Structure 1
Amino acid sequence: MTPPIKWGILSTGTIARKFAATLNQLSDCGELAAVASRNTDGANQFASEYIVPKAYGSYSDLARDPDIDVVYIATPHSLHYENAKLCLENGKHVLCEKSFTVNAVQAAELFELAREKNRFIMEAFWTKFLPAYQLLYKTLAEKTIGNITHFRAEYGFAPTGARYIRKFDPLLAGGALLDIGVYAIGVAAMLLGYKPKELYTSALIGEYGTDTFNSIMLTYENGPTAHLVTTIGSIIDPLAVIYGTKGHISLPNFTALTSFQVTIDNETPYNVDSPFLVNGFEYQIKETERCLLAGVRESTIMTHQNTIDVLALMDKARSSWGLSFPCEI
């Protein structure tokens, strides 16, 4: 019998907690074996809350633990590159939060290192693994709304206090684009393709030197267009719409899609539902473990090139705004 895959979690923030809670509910997946924080107290508190056997006060201690198979990285964007590199160099497989790195060059370097070390690595773009999107692909392939002509997505939230400052901190590669713009671009790429013909963009740069609002227009060789708006500081419910020659499909909460509404000209709209087993994170966990058990080093669902292509689009957008981060210099 194959022993269960042993997971480590790097960081103890909100998204790390969601991941831990999800993994602990999956009886058919591996086990959460270790957690690391920047200090021992934080790691111990997390370990106690989520019943984790080992707690480390440094990331390097977790990376060197010989019992850990794969590490989930949930640190800020600016740390993803060095954290993933640390884990790979210590022989660990990696599932790293989005945005995977700050730029496409960093991502390419990590993928090359993973190949050299024969380790699995994948961006934790959990949205792409959701069952509702598989049903959506089928609906689109059947030409239910005809040919796609346009895709629109918008999303915004308004943090307060210390969280507001942290979301915009350039030292953490903050701003709306890397935090939530990656969702809009990622879903547009899933539906229309990862290689648009042109990108047009504008942004508002806030008091901390990072983007508070961004607007991106994509055009594709075969005709479709996309308009993507993301912002931190204004509450905009996440909504996407796919327009076609015969109707449209609405994707409420497109980042965490569980249902969508199909409207065909002159017909009554109908819903297609696909609820989560837990909270949506379970599907990327299952894909990671499927690959590890099969000895596969790259997911065919979320490929390395997918990650590089999305980062390249974000690089191009930031370049046009004149926005770079200290960790890139």
Structure 2
Amino acid sequence: MTRWGILATGHIAARFAEDLRLVPGAELLAVGSRTRESAELFAARHGVPRAYASWAELAADPDVDVVYVATPHSAHHEATMACLAGGKAVLVEKPITLDLAGSRELVETARQRGLFLMEAMWMRTNPAIRRVVELIGQGAIGAVTSVRADFGVAGPFPPEHRMRARALGGGALLDLGVYPVSLAHLLLGVPQHLRAWAKISPEGVDENTGMVLGYDSGAVATLSCGMIGATPLVAAITGTGGRIELAEPFFRPGSITVHRADAAPEVVDVALEGGGYQYEAIEVQRCLAEGLLESPLVPHATTLEVMGLLDDVRALIGVDYA
């Protein structure tokens, strides 16, 4: 049995708690928040036996094996460091921190302490995405030449909302853009060329962002994210011998369509349970059972490379969280 703790009590924490019920061998033992009232309310709603009024108390619970950190981006570093100091394995929401320097510190600390650490880029553990990677590896569409993906939400968000709060790491890029960037990285790796533009809000965060990633192989990724208009949330991967289309939302598609030259489109349905968060929990438990300190599906190197790309995009569009 793997005993879980959840640090934070917001919407994502609640969704993770519900999906954890679908994970064999998982027990949600404890929740921690900055206030006792919030922790106890979450515990009552989700049937959690232990509620703590501080992050440190949760990290100190000797019966908790792994903690899922679901705070806003700006608190990921502090919360994860507290859990690592308490000797806990950690699954921390994406993006793992606000910048590459903070991400490196978490990775180095986890390695020094011999503790498991994984960024919760749940897309990479999703069975549909894993099937896409498998198909491409088998040569289903030849060499990848293009990736297109978008993630835009309608809004509008009020000035006090976390999406517009610079102090909380607000903006479209870190919250939404991390998905298309991660997809491009998954399929093509680190680009050799990068261009980006964004509309910046009065608060100093990006509202609508476009990115073009270029590769010396000739491949290109055209990506966008925004919080001022709902986009289709689809993705297309083109290769020298066909293309793969990911249904909405592309990071958790219920089906993928494979187009090959001189062949009828092939629709691959992928049966997904729950909200999809259980797959990252399953991967964490598998890694812990095997004594791994990082996941081969979401390795530390990938987390750091994607965060480096996000840093580079922010530098180009003029968003600074310092």
TM-score by length of 1: 0.94
2:279 corresponding residue in structure 1? 283
1:218 correspondence with 2:209: no
Give the residue type in structure 1 aligned to 2:154: A
Report the CA distance between 1:237 and its aligned residue: 2.2
Q: Output the CA distance in 2 between the equivalents of 1:114 and 1:246.
A: 42
Q: Output the CA distance in 1 between the equivalents of 2:244 and 2:56.
A: 46
1:47 correspondence with 2:43: yes
Give the residue type in structure 2 aligned to 1:105: A
| Residues 208 and 225, structure 2, Cα contact 8 Å, conserved in 1 | yes
Instruction: List gaps (5 residues or longer) in structure 1.
Output: none
Residue of 232, 235, 244 corresponding to 1:240: 235
Report the CA distance between 1:41 and its aligned residue: 1.4
| Residues 37 and 43, structure 1, Cα contact 8 Å, conserved in 2 | yes
1:300 correspondence with 2:293: no
Q: Output the CA distance in 2 between the equivalents of 1:243 and 1:24.
A: 37
Report the CA distance between 1:131 and its aligned residue: 1.2
Give the residue type in structure 2 aligned to 1:297: L
| Residues 254 and 272, structure 2, Cα contact 8 Å, conserved in 1 | yes
Q: Output the CA distance in 1 between the equivalents of 2:41 and 2:159.
A: 21
| Residues 23 and 29, structure 1, Cα contact 8 Å, conserved in 2 | no
1:171-186 map, 5 Å: 171-186=167-182
Which secondary structure does the structure 2 equivalent of 1:188 belong to?
helix
2:100 corresponding residue in structure 1? 104
Q: Output the CA distance in 2 between the equivalents of 1:181 and 1:87.
A: 27
| Residues 213 and 230, structure 1, Cα contact 8 Å, conserved in 2 | yes
| Residues 127 and 257, structure 1, Cα contact 8 Å, conserved in 2 | no
Q: Output the CA distance in 1 between the equivalents of 2:207 and 2:158.
A: 16
Which secondary structure does the structure 2 equivalent of 1:140 belong to?
helix
Give the residue type in structure 2 aligned to 1:284: E
> CA separation of 1:164/1:243 partners in 2, compared to 1, >3 Å: closer, same or farther?
farther
Q: Output the CA distance in 1 between the equivalents of 2:226 and 2:175.
A: 9
Percent identity (aligned): 39
> CA separation of 1:198/1:293 partners in 2, compared to 1, >3 Å: closer, same or farther?
same
Aligned residues: 321
Residue of 292, 304, 314 corresponding to 1:318: 314
> CA separation of 1:7/1:212 partners in 2, compared to 1, >3 Å: closer, same or farther?
same
> CA separation of 1:12/1:160 partners in 2, compared to 1, >3 Å: closer, same or farther?
farther
1:7 correspondence with 2:23: no
Residue of 128, 135, 141 corresponding to 1:145: 141
Report the CA distance between 1:161 and its aligned residue: 5.2
Residue of 174, 194, 198 corresponding to 1:199: 194
Report the CA distance between 1:280 and its aligned residue: 1.4
Which secondary structure does the structure 2 equivalent of 1:190 belong to?
helix
Residue of 80, 84, 91 corresponding to 2:80: 84
Which secondary structure does the structure 1 equivalent of 2:305 belong to?
helix
Runs of 4+ off more than 3 Å: 159-164
Q: Output the CA distance in 2 between the equivalents of 1:5 and 1:138.
A: 29
CA RMSD of aligned residues (A): 1.5
Superposed CA deviations along residues 121-151 of structure 1, whole A, max 9, x for unmatched, are 0000000011112221232233332322111
2:119 corresponding residue in structure 1? 123
Residue of 15, 18, 26 corresponding to 2:15: 18
1:267 correspondence with 2:260: no
Q: Output the CA distance in 2 between the equivalents of 1:305 and 1:239.
A: 26
Deviation larger for 30-39 or 12-21 = 30-39
Instruction: List gaps (5 residues or longer) in structure 2.
Output: none
Superposed CA deviations along residues 11-60 of structure 1, whole A, max 9, x for unmatched, are 1111100100011232x122000111221111111101110001112212
TM-score by length of 2: 0.96
| Residues 10 and 72, structure 1, Cα contact 8 Å, conserved in 2 | yes
